[in-house]
């Protein structure tokens, strides 16, 4: 029962905050900017992972030839 109450409270708080953000253009702009920064960071991490994976694959291939 307690978990249900916490879930309902979380949903209510989320709805309230979403409405507040939609009503305030500055908050919406800040949220959009934060989202853009998060996407940029995630893309950089993904690119770095792919680079490292390619290096590891190349290293593993060259070791097999020896």
Query: Which pLDDT value is given to residue 60?
Result: 74
Tokens of 40: 């940029």
State the virtual CA torsion across 3, 4, 7, 8 in degrees, nearest 10. Answer: -150
Query: Which pLDDT value is given to residue 59?
Result: 80
Query: Which pLDDT value is given to residue 64?
Result: 64
Q: Taking CA 26 as the corner, what is the angle to CA 23 and CA 27, rounded to the nearest 5 degrees?
A: 65
Query: Which pLDDT value is given to residue 47?
Result: 97
Provide the whole-model pTM. 0.59
Query: Which pLDDT value is given to residue 63?
Result: 66
Walking along the chain (66 residues) 10 residues at a time, the average pLDDT comes out as 96 95 91 96 97 88 65
Query: Which pLDDT value is given to residue 13?
Result: 98
Residues 6+ apart with CB under 8 A from 31: 21
The answer to whether the beta carbons of residues 34 and 40 sit under 8 Å apart is: no
């Amino acid at each position: 029962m307690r978990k249900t109450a916490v879930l309902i409270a979380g949903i209510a708080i989320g709805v309230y905050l979403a409405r507040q953000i939609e009503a305030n253009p500055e908050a919406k702009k800040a949220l959009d900017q934060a989202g853009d920064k998060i996407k940029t960071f995630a893309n950089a991490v993904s690119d770095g992972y792919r680079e490292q994976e390619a290096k590891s694959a190349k290293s593993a291939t060259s070791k097999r030839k020896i």
